[in-house]
Amino acid sequence: MSGEAGKTGTILVWDGLVRLLHWTLAASFLGAYALADWRDLHEALGWIAVSAALVRVVWGFAGTRHARFADFVPTPAGFLGYARDVARNRESRSVGHNPAGGAMVVALLSVVATLGVTGWMMGLDALWGVDWVESLHESAATLGLGLVALHLLGVTWESLRHRENLVKAMFTGRKRR
């Protein structure tokens, strides 16, 4: 056992890149949403979000243990079983992402990908001003905002339920064993 982990009873769960990408995605998505009327800034923040999401996807296959999708992306049956356990107040604590958190990561990355593709499409001459592209982009942004709200509720629930400050953990990378 390393000195620090042995003294504090914590382990490093989320590496520095995961934490940097998490906060970069959060700030750039919310900034782009809030500044939708400021086109140049909105687009720049959108590209930052897409870039961070792309790096996160690569890191999901090549990164550290708890950064890898294989560590936390649930099967549908695994997710439903976890949801049943939550409803019964019997869910187990996860050191990394729990199945709901894993599903949320996939959902949020999918929304950012949809926003990136539709945002890029809106800049093409052939699709400039096409209603369905703009509508899909706006719908994805609204869905993303709803997912962020659910994510925050889930983090709050999990923090209270398991007496663990997950926001602090996303800054430090450390959680209790």
In this structure, are strands 10-12 and 174-176 parallel, antiparallel, or unpaired? Answer: antiparallel
Confidence of residue 177 (pLDDT cuts 50, 70, 90): confident
Mean of pLDDT values over 11-18: 95
List the domains of the chain with CATH numbers: 10-176 (1.20.950.20)
Q: Cβ of 92: how many Cβ atoms within 10 Å?
A: 8
Model pLDDT for residues 88-120, shown as the tens digit of each residue: 999 888 899 999 999 999 999 999 999 999 999
Single-letter code of the amino acid located at 24: T
